[in-house]
Amino acid sequence: MTPNKNTARIAGLLYLIYIIIHVAADVIGRSKLIVYGDAAVTAQNIMASGGQFRIGLIIDLLAAVLFLLTAWALYVLLKPVNKNIALLFLLLNMSGVIIQCVSDLFLIGSQHLLSGADYLNVFQVEQLQALSMFSLYLYKSGFMIAQIFYGAWLFPLGYLVYKSGFIPPILGILLMVHCAFWLMTVLQFFLFPDFNAITYISYPLGFIAEFGLSLWLMIWGVKEPKANMS
């Protein structure tokens, strides 16, 4: 097995594990516990399932680390195509990971507000619930800001996949199209929060593009390029 194939399969495996863990973090730690707009119900859910909430947070942080490692592996794989563009998508991914991890602090804050600690006795129950919900909204906004970078990294990644000569170019095209729709999803969130039409396109498109790339790299690897394209 050539070094390129080793790197490709490592990148594909990391990408696939990231996708699975990222979905698990949402299912375990957020989707069933957080009811945006209902502070009382959300507070009850978090207090009743504090361990589950913390596990979801840990999984979310683990997913962020895996995503950065995935970007590094893809950088190593694709830098012979164009080192500067490969460095660009690595930096964009790293920026998104940093913002995502910072936004996770608001998840921690929301649970601290509901912890019943003595120093919080100056607040009424309803105030603590409202502040906890406020923290969750800040987390959600921070997470969506991270998606700007997660969306932007897809274009240089897709371009290098397309130009590589050792990965099917259709995957590169899908990644670049996915970039456009993912960035539109972020704009939709901030400008038209009640409008979800773009989401119905960007989510399945993203699954096909990113899941397809991870599977291709993990199962088939790559063939050695005939010449250095940098």
Query: Is the separation of the CB atoms in 200 and 159 below 8 Å?
Result: no
Query: Is the separation of the CB atoms in 186 and 147 below 8 Å?
Result: yes
Mean pLDDT of the chain: 90
Query: Is the separation of the CB atoms in 179 and 152 below 8 Å?
Result: yes
Phi-psi region of 224 (alpha: psi -120 to 50; beta: other; left: phi over 0): beta
Instruction: Please tell me the predicted confidence (pLDDT) of residue 24.
Output: 85
Query: What is the sign, positive or negative, of the torsion defined by CA atoms of 217, 223, 224, 230?
Result: negative
Query: What is the sign, positive or negative, of the torsion defined by CA atoms of 117, 122, 128, 132?
Result: negative
Closest by alpha carbon to 101, among 71, 130, 66, 76?
66
Tell me the residue range of the domain where 62 lies. 3-140+206-220
In a domain, 27, yes or no: yes
In a domain, 225, yes or no: no
Instruction: Please tell me the predicted confidence (pLDDT) of residue 224.
Output: 56
In a domain, 213, yes or no: yes
Query: What is the sign, positive or negative, of the torsion defined by CA atoms of 25, 31, 36, 40?
Result: negative
Average pLDDT for residues 3-21, to the nearest whole number? 88
DSSP-assigned letters across all residues of 65-93: HHHHHHHHHHHHHHTTT-HHHHHHHHHHH
Binned at pLDDT 50, 70 and 90, residue 22 comes out as: confident
Residue 186 has pLDDT above 50, yes or no: yes
Q: pLDDT tens across 55-108, in order?
A: 989 999 999 999 999 999 999 999 999 999 999 999 999 999 999 999 999 999
Q: pLDDT tens across 105-160, in order?
A: 999 999 999 998 999 999 999 999 999 999 999 999 999 999 999 999 999 999 99
Residue 165 is classified by DSSP as S
Q: How far is CA 28 from CA 61, 115, 132, 181, in A?
A: 13, 20, 19, 27
Q: How far is the C-alpha of 193 from the C-alpha of 185, rounded, in Å?
A: 10
Number of domains making up the chain: 1
Q: How far is the C-alpha of 120 from the C-alpha of 128, rounded, in Å?
A: 8
Average pLDDT for residues 206-229, to the nearest whole number? 76
In a domain, 82, yes or no: yes
Query: Is the separation of the CB atoms in 62 and 99 below 8 Å?
Result: no
Residue 223 is classified by DSSP as P
Q: How far is the C-alpha of 73 from the C-alpha of 69, rounded, in Å?
A: 6
Amino acid at 171: L
In a domain, 33, yes or no: yes
In a domain, 18, yes or no: yes
Average pLDDT for residues 34-40, to the nearest whole number? 93
Residue 226 has pLDDT above 60, yes or no: no
In a domain, 215, yes or no: yes
Instruction: Please tell me the predicted confidence (pLDDT) of residue 227.
Output: 46
Q: How far is CA 193 from CA 130, 152, 188, in A?
A: 20, 21, 6
In a domain, 214, yes or no: yes
Instruction: Please tell me the predicted confidence (pLDDT) of residue 223.
Output: 60
Candidate from 21-30, 86-95, 118-127, 200-209 with smallest mean pLDDT: 21-30
List, in order, residues 6 or more apart from 87 with CB less than 8 Å away.
75, 79
